[in-house]
Chains A and B, each alone.
Chain A
Amino acid sequence: MNQETYSQIFINACLVNNFVLAYFLGICPFLGVSGKIDTSSKMGAAVTFVMLIASICAYGIHSLLIAINAPFLQLISYIVVIASTVQLVEMFVKKMSPTLFKALGIFLPLITTNCAILGLALFQTNKGYDFFQSIVYALGAGAGFTLALILIAGLREQLEFAEVPKVIKGTVLTLIVAGILSLAFMGFSGLGSS
């Protein structure tokens, strides 16, 4: 059992151990969809929602697998649950907002293979969080992911007009900016520790 308080868990997941900038989870959508602030904030919301559902399901599955003594099924059952949740979100978004559905494009079904979600499920199991701690952890991680995505999108929107050498344009420039952001986030270390 883990003794961390809810606020500690939230700050840790959101700022100190930011999923994107400290754990390198969810880099693919981070590099792919982070061109515009609008799209990235909605992407962040979708990921946070899937994280929340996945976290609740993972907690249930983990207890079940412990009860029937089959921990080797952990990975397989987690990924199946995540895949079905993403399918659900996809149908929901398609129905509610076709424009958003188009803007997110291939990156919406790819949330399934977003390491941040599976990583969250695995980390919360490893850390031994209880039910409410897991939910707070998922919310913190989602908020951190959204924050990183929006920050980098804002920087990239400005950089569109900057004159940089042609070889640096694109992924290289985004990675350098991400590195500097990661440096900045190091300033948060120590904030959430007890």
Chain B
Amino acid sequence: MSNQEIDKGSINTAPTSTDEFIKGLWKENPVFVQVLGMCPVLAVSNTAVNALAMGMATAFVLLMSNVLVSLLRNFIPKEVRIASYILIIATFVTITDYAIQAISVDLHKSLGAFISLIVVNCLILSRAEAFASKNTVSKSVMDALGMGLGFIIALFSLGAVREILGNGAFFGISLFPDGFQEWVIMILPAGGFFTLAAWLLVFNLIKQRRALS
């Protein structure tokens, strides 16, 4: 009971920075609730390392573009705002692309074109349009951090499941005794669809149970 009362109280008051951060993790999780930015989620979540790297790259671009969009929100004319956002995002993605190439050539190879494709991740554009263009810089930072972390968690939970079942390993460390038969299907594209479906199902079940109680 007391929990519900606190929840209601927080809805009435204006959302604080902490609320902006928390909402990205659960209530408005970009992947599991909003179903945004699916392409990289499915494509590079075949191992935990790839998933983590991709999540961090996306979160970085999200943070930087949110800050810049929020800073420039009074200067960008309404008619060309989407084009301006895309230019801002593309700039940061190019920076990230070159940075990853400098840090680890192997990682850059295994992520391939998907780093460049962060540009067209609907999640980043939707945060720029729906949040950063209307809110202060500090709030936009919290929003980006929350959404970014929510995205990383979602990507990682997919990557971990797929690597453990598909490779019998976690971060490249073998987990099972020799007799384990790997589920090769989990690493293949079809496995991505199935794993995501399973996670969404878990989320739906939790939501349904909450609604009932």
Q: Is the CB of B200 within 8 A of A76?
A: no
A75-B97, A80-B87, A167-B205 known; A183 vs B197 contact (CB < 8 Å): no
A75 and B120 CA atoms in complex are apart in Å by 11
- Residues B114-150 near A (CB distance < 8 A): 116-117, 119-122, 125
From residue A117, how far is it (CB to closest CB) to chain B in Å?
8
Secondary structure of the A side of the interface? helix
Among listed A34-42, A61-69, A108-116, A136-144, interface-contacting one = A108-116
* Complex partner residue of A176 from B116, B120, B193, CB under 8 angstroms: B193
A23-B43, A183-B190 known; A31 vs B35 contact (CB < 8 Å): yes
Q: Is the CB of A171 within 8 A of B193?
A: no
CB<8 Å pairs between A and B, sample of 27: A21-B189, A22-B189, A23-B189, A24-B42, A24-B192, A25-B39, A26-B39, A27-B38, A28-B122, A31-B35, A75-B97, A75-B116, A75-B119, A76-B90, A79-B86, A113-B120, A113-B122, A114-B120, A115-B117, A118-B119, A122-B113, A122-B117, A167-B201, A167-B208, A179-B192, A183-B190, A186-B189
Apart from A114-B120, A168-B201, list 17 A-B contacts with CB within 8 A. A24-B40, A25-B117, A26-B39, A27-B42, A72-B94, A79-B90, A110-B122, A115-B39, A122-B116, A167-B205, A171-B35, A175-B196, A175-B197, A179-B191, A179-B192, A179-B197, A186-B189
B-side residues, CB < 8 A to A, are 35-36, 38-40, 42-43, 82-83, 86-87, 90-91, 93-94, 97-98, 113, 116-117, 119-122, 125, 185, 188-194, 196-197, 200-201, 204-205, 208
